[in-house]
Chain A
Amino acid sequence: MDKDIFKLGGREFSSRLILGSGKYPLPMMKEVVEAGEPDIVTLALRRANIGGEGNILDYIPPDKTLLPNTSGARSAPEALTLARLARDMGCGDFIKIEVVNDPKYLLPDNEETLQAVRLVVKEGFVALPYMNPDLVMAHKMADAGAAAIMPLGAPIGSNRGLTTKELVRLIVEEIKLPVIVDAGLGRPSQACQALELGVAAVMVNTAVATAGDPPAMAKAFALAVRAGRAGYLAGLGRTGKGEASSPLTGFLRTEAG
């Protein structure tokens, strides 16, 4: 079997687990990243305090690819400004577009997100939109130049798992871009399930941050992601219902009389 490579934005990664860096004290975040061995780590620009005290970049190993997000943005222009800021701060060209107007559930605003993708793509960013799993919108994001689609599995921080499974499945089937399930995954088994479904990667933060032993949980997610991917590549067995002893079409094989 060829080496299984995860291609995103013109780059190649081996881990399909993307870890978030929020919700931890920074030293703990560092341990989690070391244990989970992701290639990509997200960070909220608004909290980054780059150059100041508690600079998050001092805690993320330099071999990781940074995925800054635009959290805090409420409109497409705000997301663009934050993306530019991220680039200026040396966080690279990857940008996770997060436009949220709902402090209660933190659900993304797909319409503004689409606008934001158009704006940042024009400036050469690798746009990764976090969105509600809507296939029609996903097509529009792809047309706008998104490098991947990041549908939510459940409301962020809810640890409820892949509650949007059917909608995500449609996006995986129809969109010719990597699909990354972002938000909502609460257990390693749910991450495994997402990978089995054919998503390219998953992004996890709260489930690890709220675990009893966050580094151990990061490791558990890493294993689950590998298992799920391996299962997908192996081709899942048929979930047949078993053969009835007298099949309905059996009469075709018997003689009249």
Chain B
Amino acid sequence: MIDKVQKIMSGFDYAAVTPRRVEAALKREHRDCNDLGALLSPAAAVYLEDMAVLARDVSLRFFGRNVSLYTPLYIANYCVNRCLYCGYNHDNHIRRARLSPAEIAAEAAAIAATGLKDILLLTGESRIYSSPAYIGQAVEILNRYFPSVGLEIYPLRLEQYGRLHELGSDFISVYQETYDPALYDRVHLSGPKKNYSWRFGANERALAAGFRGASFGVLLGLGDFRRDVLACAAHALLVQEKYPQAEIGFSVPRIRPYPNREKNETGIGEAQLLQIILSLRLFMPWAGISLSTRESAHFRDNCIGLGITRLSAGVSTGVGGHLGGEKGDQQFHKADPRSAPEICRALVSRGYQPVFRDYIRV
């Protein structure tokens, strides 16, 4: 699968895309990777409005006027990886912490009290501080408060995913960050994350272990976003073909500043980010697309209805933080500090229904 994705990524020539090619991609009912390439190309930039109209219509058909809400919970920020773009990287001098089981339960109770029912558990990579057993314990606790528990954690083995699934987690997010192997090698200085192919296969292993859905993404701003998004979508499509029952999702995070690196430029503007969102929506109309608090309230609000199906709300990107102070420092500075009720009001004012629960684990 890695080879196939590489071939699709390298085989597409963005400079060769003509306006006519973009128009052809827009007209098609089912779009393939070449159509996606055309929609991501510089030539498609002037078709953004046409793309938005199509994306709005297709989103309405598949998802209606609904947007799901979720929130992340960082249970620990110890990390052995040295990744150039991340606030949790091993060499960054920040307050490190991990939540005890009692603290996880207290955080969960505070989040659940805001009405949120979909939680995403995150942690840095550390076999000492965030072992699979510790993560499993956290999943069990969170299950008592939330009908849906997702994981955004370091790649595991199949049987480890199986165990976490048994304990009550159903959704997995492992983002490749970049699909360019040379760049991947350069930005991951050391640590287990340096292993490209191990990470590449993680979502698939989780699905094989019984997880219900998997989310794919790249860190926008790291490499050539067109190549990366095309590769990411191709990866997701190939996994969907292999696991037809899987719920596939995308996330579109842009690089953000973090503690001790207050300037962290993405080089990707909002128009390009929107082009990415619309392209993914038109490529896989049935897939979920999440938009995190890395983006501003203004941008997020205006994306409602254009393809985004999940928004985070009431977010803390530090360890803990739902009971007042954060125990450990943030992974990145968020751009949208709004609480769950505030996000709900924004949705309702645009004629959309906030959905707290879209899944019951049975």
A interface residues (Cβ-Cβ under 8 A, vs B): 22-26, 28, 45-47, 49, 52-54, 72-74, 77-78, 81-82, 85, 101-106, 157-159, 206, 209-210
Contacts and interface: CB of A to CB of B under 8 A. Distances in A.
Contacts of A105: 286
A24 B64 contact: yes
Nearest to A100: B245
Contacts of B359: 46, 72
Given A74-B245, A103-B247, A209-B60, A23 B65 contact: yes
B61 A210 contact: yes
Interface size class of B (residues with CB under 8 A): 20 to 34
B244 interface: yes
B245 A101 contact: yes
Contacts of B240: 104
Contact of A46 (B57, B352, B353, B357): B357
Nearest to A157: B61
Given A25-B351, A103-B246, A72 B360 contact: yes
B63 A23 contact: yes
B362 A53 contact: no
Contacts of A28: 65, 351
Given A47-B355, A101-B245, A103-B248, A78 B362 contact: yes
A77 B248 CA distance: 23
Nearest to A77: B362
A101 B244 contact: yes
B62 interface: yes
9 residue pairs, one from A and one from B, having the closest CB atoms: A23-B64, A81-B362, A25-B353, A101-B245, A78-B362, A46-B360, A210-B60, A53-B115, A157-B61
25 contacts: A23-B63, A23-B66, A24-B65, A25-B65, A25-B352, A46-B359, A49-B356, A52-B356, A53-B115, A54-B354, A72-B360, A73-B362, A74-B245, A77-B362, A85-B360, A85-B362, A102-B245, A103-B246, A104-B286, A106-B286, A157-B62, A158-B61, A159-B61, A210-B60, A210-B64
Contact of B115 (A52, A77, A210): A52
B153 to A, nearest CB: 23
Contacts of A49: 117, 356-357
A106 B245 CA distance: 10
A25 B348 contact: yes
Contacts of B247: 103
Interface string B336-362: 000000000000100111111111101
Interface in B32-56: none
Contacts of A104: 240, 244, 286
Interface of B: 57, 60-66, 115, 117, 212, 240, 244-248, 286, 348, 351-360, 362
Contacts of B60: 23, 209-210
Contacts of A54: 353-354, 356
A46 B60 CA distance: 19
A209 B60 CA distance: 8
A73 B64 CA distance: 20
A54 B352 CA distance: 12
Q: Is the interface of A mostly helix, strand, loop or mixed?
A: loop
B353 A24 contact: yes
Nearest to A78: B362
Contacts of A46: 357-360
Nearest to A56: B353
Nearest to B147: A46
Nearest to B57: A210
Contacts of B357: 46-47, 49
B353 A26 contact: yes
Contacts of A22: 64, 66
Contact of B360 (A26, A45, A103): A45
A177 to B, nearest CB: 28
A22 B61 CA distance: 11
Contact of B356 (A26, A53, A78): A53
Contacts of B61: 157-159, 206, 210
Q: Which of A25, A49, A81 has the most CB of B within 10 A?
A: A25
A201 B348 CA distance: 32
Q: Which of A26, A46, A158 has the most CB of B within 10 A?
A: A46
Contacts of A25: 65, 348, 351-353
Given A54-B353, A103-B286, A209-B60, 5 more contacts: A22-B64, A25-B353, A26-B353, A46-B360, A159-B61
Contacts of B353: 24-26, 54
B282 to A, nearest CB: 15
B247 to A, nearest CB: 5
A47 B351 CA distance: 17
Contacts of B246: 103
B284 to A, nearest CB: 8
Nearest to A210: B60
B172 to A, nearest CB: 15
Contacts of A26: 353
Contacts of B351: 25, 28
Contacts of B286: 103-106
Contacts of A206: 61, 64
A100 to B, nearest CB: 9
Nearest to B63: A23
Contact of A103 (B57, B65, B117, B245): B245
A103 B171 CA distance: 14
B116 to A, nearest CB: 10
A29 to B, nearest CB: 8
A67 B15 CA distance: 53
A74 B362 CA distance: 10
